[in-house]
Structure 1
Amino acid sequence: MIDRLRSTVGDTMGRLWAAVRSMSPRQLAFLTPIVVVAAVAGVLVLRTGDDSTVSTNDETPIARRRIVSTSKGVSGTSKKASAPSSVPEEVTSTTQAVAPVTDVEVVPIGTDSGGKAGPQLLPVLPPEPWPQGCCAPLTNLGFDSPEGAAGPAVAVKVSNAPEVDPHTNLHRADLIYELRAEDVSRFIAVYHSRAADVIGPIRSGRTADPPIIKSLGRPMLVFSGGNDYVMAMMEARETDGTLVRMLNRNAVGSFFRSDDRQQPHNFYGHRPGWIAARGAEALPPRRQTDFFGAGAGVNTVSGQPVKVSVDIGQSHSWWQWDDTSQMWLRFQHGRPHIDKDTGYQIGRTSVVILGTGYPPSPADDRSPEAASTGGGEAWVMTGRDYIHGTWSRANPDDTWHLTDDAGNPIALKSGPVYIGLTDVKPVIE
């Protein structure tokens, strides 16, 4: 809606300027007050934020600086970036080698303030290989994070406004939730098994967040702020042991604003700094879904599609099956969804779509709150297989129970997981 209004106002202001240039001095003197008022109104509209914004009390403004590395001092990455001499060299990756790329696609990066794709280009790489082994709770694979199995679950509220695409290190989250925030979606990206330093862009917390992440155990929740209701709720949820809050004031120096994007789309943070500050207060995650070989049996397969399209609010994305990586590759805004610094496309072994409702949040009736307890229809892609069924979750402490149409538990194949909460039925092809 904001984008359409911007376009209309921009066109109108252009026509107004052309008319003004053709007027006589006497006509200009008469119309000057009207033109000034119209111009001011137009500028205010054009500066309006994205549709995912409601009134919040975000953290104190933080000095801008350019992102120079997404992995400084963190193991498990093979990409180097230019950095000041004070930045330590990164440690050699513990993941398997990346296969050579034969067909490299170049895609536009969305960085301009109008919500459209910008002119910058970045090559698209296949999904980054995941560490082999066992048994990270959220992937059933191995670890390359410095903290290992004992490390805390770190859940980060990540924006998905058009201006923030591509993201930084979203591809390294073990588990990605996608849910509505007004017209567009936001992510809750949960990190545990993978090394990842800079993460973002980070946005505000919402009332839907604690019920979704409570079943992790006692995770750290990283967010930029919130309105008075949300901030009070987050404090209460920390007091009752649901989560550990991570805001700028909790780890000064571990958050920053980049200088390549406009606010509020440029807020990032360092996961190692968060863990150093409050990681001892959080816990490793509990398993959220059943995996093959971890107490689950055989799925009743409904088919083997190649594409699934998902609408969450006005955010449209799709997942395409890739035989080479044996993953579902994510696309949005008409192009591959890639990592900002490396070009790795986001890939998931399992794509789980849960049908649910979005009643208004008690914090702001413009903000929808995903219903994450109860149950509903489920569409599960795991590996090459599609299983139709239902989901159920008795309360926020409970994990996600997925059952096929025959009543059998659905088991996921080992690997990273995406869970989308939507009130629109996906299109499976």
Structure 2
Amino acid sequence: MNKLYLIGILLLFTWSCTTNYPNIPQQYHSLLDSALIKAGDNAPEMEKALAESAKEQKEGMAFLISYMPERDLTTLTADFLLENVDYAYKAREKYDWCNNLPDSVFFNEVLPYANVSEDRDVWRKDFYERFAKYADNSDNMVEAIMSIARNIKDEVDVEYNTKRSKVDISPLQAMKEHMATCTGLSILLTDAYRAVGIPSRLAGTAMWTNYKGNHTWSEVWIDGKWQFIEYYPDTLNQSWFVADAGKADPDNMLHWIYAASYKPTGMPYYAAVDAPYIMQVVDTNKLPEHIRPRFEEMKNEATDIAPYIWGHNVTQRYIDIYQESIKNSKLNDNELMANIVVFADKDTSVSESRLSCRVDVFEGDKNINFGYSPRKTDDMNQFLQLKLKKESNYRFVVSNPEKQIKQEFTLVTENTPTQDIQLILSN
């Protein structure tokens, strides 16, 4: 009898939870049940946010709460969420570019109240009022993107400075300190775009393949494609870091390019080298000797923390952007374009023979360039492309620590505009 009574209570609880979400699509009901349990004592704030959101905004509110990190479920207030959602929908109603977005893009890249691990500031209303004038005076979204990028520095009075209090500094704190580094600047820019209905997200890497540091920037969604833009802008898909990003190692998670996502993707956003998540997957034995001690120290300090910042692997897109920029750049009279592929054996006609390796190019004792050769899964027309001088002596060092490969090749380049260079490994 007691078991039947308990089962009845559980069924009644389940029924009450899953039917208490009027005007919210069924797909969110079980997710909301789970979120409210995780919210604990803060569950009434989440329930209030759902109950008091406007009918046409309820699905957006349900999306935020359904996929909300637990740290936010237990702390955020209904008023915080209601204002954030209300002003996001104001932008959607006002701007055609936002109104025409697929719901999936609006929910994940416009509606969120935060990007990564920054403090949860009440920024949306302020930024809507600050940046609407740039959007209003633009004929289209691209004009608005560039107008905001050109004016945000003066609007928020924040400059690059390593003396900022936190790497992941929040918008209002950055404005208070008048300083931020790349992560904080990118948060400011992404939030400015989201405030006027422009889909935006953070992107970055944990470590460049030259081990000279990392970087974070913003991406914007234009006509179904992601392009990047910086707080100190050049133009879309152009910046100083393109060559570094284009030399990312597609086989090493430490060097991937990541884009952040509010909705869980199954992949953490590994774009911060001091985050515990990336340290859990770094094999320090494969790192250059001069930086290995610091990484081993960081790995020992890292704790097994469940990720709540999610991401996408967008490495190949940045490799493609870089390779396209090389193709479109003018060769000097004494230069040629080298198309480099590494092969495991002499059968260079099949993709299975190709090996992804780091290729360092030396002129004398000076390392002048490097990159990563195509994998066996890449298109046969894809190469590692590097500019070299014609009729010059070069030494190529091919390495792949995982496969215990390190071999050297020497050759003299030809007097032609392009040259195919096949580096065939010896057994």
TM-score of the two chains, using structure 1 as the length reference: 0.22
Q: Which has the higher helix share?
A: 2
- Choose 1 or 2 for highest CA Rg: 2
